[in-house]
Structure formats: structure tokens, C-alpha cells
Amino acid sequence: MSKNSLSEDEFKRLVERLSHRRNELEGRITIDSVRQSLLELGLSDLLRENDIEEVSKQVSREFQRRQWKNYFGFALILIILVAPLAAFGGYKLREYIVANVPQLVGLDETPDPSKLLELEAQVEKLTANQTALENQLENSQTEKDELKDRIQELEVENKDLKNRTNTPISTTVTTPSIETTETISTPIASFAVQGLVYDLKSCQKSNVNPKSQTISCVLLITSKQENVSFSLYSNRSGRRSRIFEAGKEYLATRVKLGTYSGTSRVRNNLITDVPIEATITFDNVPLEVNKIQVFQISSWLQSSYYNNGINVEFRNLSLSEN
């Protein structure tokens, strides 16, 4: 046959061969990608020259063990099928199977209990290794999130330093005090903890449509002891701001603290005795929610006297129209 053409059977075999090769390649990751991933996880400095080779050998051994386990199960099935045939004179068939499948040589109908226990121990060990690797991956992701938080904190501190540098020095002139009347809106609820005061101003409906609505709760947060670093969460790393009504839980989707806003967490620096406005928003809330049984706020305080999370709860709140 001409080298410039293929028969239909040759073409089918070529397609099967290339498909098999593609499936093998899809499950593999290039060394460059591995090194890049380790660099992002901060593990590249710990990589030794023979680590990749040892991991490959270990995976190959585990794959061979799984293959032998499959062979063993297949052998048991064949033995179960052969036994009734042998009772009716099918000895020749059994000999043919044993002769053509070397993995069955030396096996009888009853599996070796010690070998089964050994295989079970190997499976348990592999399962434990898998769990350990999953935990390492989760810890690496947590460290990555913490690094992102630290970067955001540094950006806020850098912005504060720039603002202080650009603030002109002014001379303070004392003038006679003039009595003025200032209108201050009274908070509907207030909560004080760890030197912070949370004054809830309102919870309002907005974006009402035939299927859902948006609920936004506005509050003022004031530090009473010193300048502190303060974070407010919507839903991140297990810290969630949420509302409860009629047994249903609704998670916050957006948060805003001063000029900073985000969908998971915001951070800002609080100045002593200077309130800062915060808004926690809940999108896609069902229309039947007309009040709030519990409004829980998840936050984090970093100061000289306290460095941990703070959860604040307001109960039995009514909703106003925006």
C-alpha cells in the first residue's frame, strides 16, 4: 500500500493510539508547572533534586499495588466461576485459564487471610497518606490567605503614612467657643466590647424585585482606648457576618468600612473616639424576610491589648424601606 495513504483499519488504530496517548498526557503536570506551583506556595526552597524522582517512584509503586489488588480480585472472580464447572467435569477449562493467566498460578479457591490483611493495611496507609496531603494543601491555602491579608494591611499602613506625610502643619488659634446645636441620629442599638463600640444605625431593604431583595445594615464603629487596626468580614476563612429569620440563615455578600469595600473582608485603621461608618450587605434575600431575628457581625481587632476575633449580635430588628 502507498505510504501516502492509510486503510480504514489503520486509520482507526492510529486514532485509538493517539487518543490513548492524549489521555495519558492529560493527567500529567509539567515540571515547570510543578516548580511554579511550589513557588506560589512558598515551598520551592525546600525542593531537593531527587524529590520529584522519589515521588514518581512512590506513585508508581502505589499504582502497581492497586493493579495487583485488581488482579487479585479478578482472580477470585475467576476461581468462583471455575469451581462449579470443575464439579461437572470442567477441569480442562480451569487448566486452560491457569495456563494462560500466570497471575492465577498457585492460587486456590480460598484467599490467603494474611495476604488480605496485608493488602488492607496497604490501603489504610494510602488513605492516611492521602488525608495528610489534603491537610497540607489546606494549610498551604490558609497560609496563602494570611499572606494576602498581610499585604492588604501593609497597603493600608502605607496609605496612612502617605496621608500623614502630605498633611500640612497648621497653627492652632484658640477662638471663643460658639454654642451650636448639632443633630445626632440616635442608634437603634449599641454594643460595647474590647474597647470598641458598635452603634447600629439602620437595616434597610433595597433592590426589591419579584423574587428577592437586598438588605443593608449601617453602623458606626468607634475605638475608645487607642488607635487600632480593625477588620470586618462578610464571608472568609470561616468568619461570616449573617442574619437569621424564621429559622433561615443568610450570609453577607459585601462589606464596606470607611472608603474600603470588598466581597469577603475589609480592613481599616480606627482613630481613638472617631466613629467610622460600616455597611454590611445581604443580596438575594427572599421577599418574605420583613424583619431580622438575629444580626451577627464578624470582625477582628488588632491592638496592644487584644488581638483576636469579635462577634457582635443584635436581635429583633425591624427593616425600613430605602
CA 187 to chain centre: 36
Q: Give me the pLDDT at residue 178, please.
A: 33
Alpha helices, DSSP H, located in the chain: 8-26, 31-40, 51-87, 91-100, 113-166
Domain 189-321 superfamily per CATH: Immunoglobulins (2.60.40.10)
Angle among Cα 174, 180, 184 to the nearest 5 degrees reads 120
Each of the 322 residues of the chain gets a pLDDT tens digit; together they read: 556 777 888 888 888 888 777 766 666 667 777 777 777 777 767 767 677 777 777 777 777 788 788 778 888 887 887 666 666 556 666 666 666 665 555 555 556 778 788 888 888 888 888 887 877 776 676 667 667 766 766 776 676 666 655 544 433 333 333 333 333 346 788 999 999 999 999 999 999 999 999 999 999 999 999 999 999 999 988 899 999 999 999 999 999 999 999 999 999 999 999 999 999 999 999 999 999 999 999 999 999 999 999 999 999 999 998 7
Q: Give me the pLDDT at residue 87, please.
A: 62
What sign for the dihedral angle of Cα 71, 72, 73, 74?
A: positive
Q: Give me the pLDDT at residue 136, please.
A: 75
Q: Give me the pLDDT at residue 41, please.
A: 75
Query: SS3 breakdown of the chain: % helix, strand, coil, rounded to 5?
Result: 40, 30, 30
Exposed, middle or buried by CB within 10 Å (0-12, 13-18, 19+), for 100?
Answer: exposed
Q: Give me the pLDDT at residue 172, please.
A: 37
Contact indicator for 216, 203 with CB cutoff of 8 Å: yes
Report the residue count for the chain. Answer: 322
Cα–Cα distance between 111 and 116 in angstroms, integer? 8
Domain boundaries, the chain: 8-143, 189-321
Q: Give me the pLDDT at residue 184, please.
A: 38
Q: Which distant-in-sequence residues (6+ apart) come within 8 Å of 30 by Cβ?
A: none
DSSP run (H or E) holding 282: strand 276-286
Cα–Cα distance between 254 and 262 in angstroms, integer? 6
The set of cell numbers assigned to 319 is 427593616
Cα–Cα distance between 87 and 90 in angstroms, integer? 7
CA torsion angle for 68, 69, 71, 77 (degrees, to 10)?
160
3-state secondary structure of 274: coil
Residue 150 sits at φ, ψ, to 5 deg, of -65, -40
pTM of the complete model beyond 0.75: no
Q: Give me the pLDDT at residue 168, please.
A: 47
In the block, residue with C-alpha cell 468607634? 222
**In the beta sheet, which residues pair with residue 257?**
260, 278
For 170, 189, 317, the CA distances from 279, given in Å and listed in that order, are 33, 15, 16
Q: Which distant-in-sequence residues (6+ apart) come within 8 Å of 251 by Cβ?
A: 234, 235, 240, 241, 242, 282
